[in-house]
Amino acid sequence: MSLRPDLEIIAEWITPGSRVLDLGCGDGTLLSHLQTIRRVTGYGLEIDADNVVSCVRAGLNVIQTDLDAGLSDFDANSFEFVVMTQTLQAVHFPAWLLDEMLRVGEHGIVTFPNFGHWRCRLQLALRGRMPVTRALAHQWYDTPNIHLCTFNDFETLCRKKDIEILERTVVDHAHRSSLGMRLLPNLLGEVAIYRFCRKDYC
């Protein structure tokens, strides 16, 4: 089973044999791949009951929980990697959850859509309405996204929290990159993938 390109990038960042916590793991596609290909051990956390059932059927360790409740079930430094794909913008306390990720894990990996993409800016400027794009496909009244941000916003938060960004990949809605996105990521990138750690721990 082939992975989405963004998940392939994440998989390449994971050290073989490491311990991984996958936050908002969905149906377990990434965690299953990591267990098979990278020989990792770990857990998935997921709120959706159907996805939890899919994970259990795939033989994955999964806990049904709300990420807004935090990661208090896990001790500090329990994992080498804590991964959260397309979920940071959907939790109530994203800054606190970043702290929790780096409490229980050595490295964090997140992906999220960019509200600073040129299509978002153009729709706000010309139509005066909340943008709907390929990467942000919901209307304002039914979106699961409650804390939209730009890549610049995220990097500013990391600096405030003394979080060091180790790697960043910027892609479009189909998870493809280009020279333009590398040169002007906050304007042309639709989705970012970040790997980071505490500055005093890297």
Q: Is the pLDDT of residue 157 over 90?
A: yes
**Digit-coded pLDDT (tens) for 90-116:** 999 999 999 999 999 999 999 999 999
List the single range of 1-10, 170-179, 185-194 with lowest mean pLDDT: 1-10
Q: How far apart are CA 132 and CA 200, in angstroms?
A: 39
Structural domains of the chain, with CATH: 5-115+145-198 (3.40.50.150)
Q: Is the pLDDT of residue 25 over 80?
A: yes
**Digit-coded pLDDT (tens) for 72-82:** 999 999 999 99
Percentage of the residues of the chain whose pLDDT score is greater than 90: 81
Q: How far apart are CA 2 and CA 144, in angstroms?
A: 26
Report the pLDDT value the prediction gives residue 49, as an integer from 0 to 100. 96
User: Alpha-carbon Rg of the chain, whole angstroms?
Assistant: 17
Q: Are the C-beta atoms of residues 92 and 146 closer than 8 Å to each other?
A: yes
Q: Is the pLDDT of residue 1 over 70?
A: no
**Digit-coded pLDDT (tens) for 133-147:** 888 888 888 888 899
Q: How far apart are CA 198 and CA 202, in angstroms?
A: 6
Report the pLDDT value the prediction gives residue 20, as an integer from 0 to 100. 98
Task: Please give the structure tokens belonging to residue 131.
Answer: 């943008």
